[in-house]
Amino acid sequence: MKEIILASASPRRKELLSELIGNFRIQPSFLEEKTDENRTPAETVCALAEQKAKDVFSRNCDAVVLGADTVVSLGKEILGKPKDEADAVRMLRSLSGKTHQVITGVCIAWEGSVLTDYCVTDVSFRTLTDEAIADYVKSGVPMDKAGAYAIQDNPDMIAGFNGSYTNVVGLPMELLQTMLQKCGVIGCLEN
């Protein structure tokens, strides 16, 4: 079997992928992420996942490279990682009491081929107090998370979700398994 490389430094993606694949290497892409404001959120995450996978694959042509990118979408606004604490507060206030979409693009690059797809999960927030938002932001947790939150670190802020939980964490395992089967990397796995 070919070496599998995860083109991400995310500890959450590493943990999720290790549940599916026992042996892989991590080599993040350090390309500057280029986005086009005319793209939909789904097109954006697919393009970014593809950029990451192709970048790492260009230095590892004998491997299978997995790239991923996640955004939070509230209406037409894409909420990436906050720039600073004030931006994190702004994002959390905008999500409070509303339903938004978490969209993850996944790209697999191997043997000159590329397979890209995405997953969408609807997430509903409870109404958050200013104090709860301030405490969460002070914890530092939101600062490297799309939409300024991590579902696994503060489940009390979530009223519910419809779709893949692992997508909200950062790597939609159901989609990834299907994609890895399509490109012949893994056979059918027991659920």
Q: How far is CA 140 from CA 67, 94, 135, 162, 191, in A?
A: 25, 19, 9, 27, 35
User: Confidence class of residue 1 from pLDDT cuts 50, 70 and 90?
Assistant: low
Picking from 78, 178, 79, the residue whose alpha carbon sits closest to that of residue 119 is 178
| Residue 10 or residue 154, greater confidence | 10
Residue 69 appears among annotated catalytic residues: yes
Per the prediction, the chain carries an average pLDDT of 91
Of the residues 36, 55, 62, 69, which is catalytic?
69
> pTM, whole model, 2 decimals?
0.90
Count of C-beta atoms within a 10 Å radius of residue 20: 16
Average pLDDT score over residue span 124-142? 95
> How far, in Å, CA of 129 to CA of 19, rounded?
36
Give the chain's domains with CATH numbers: 4-182 (3.90.950.10)
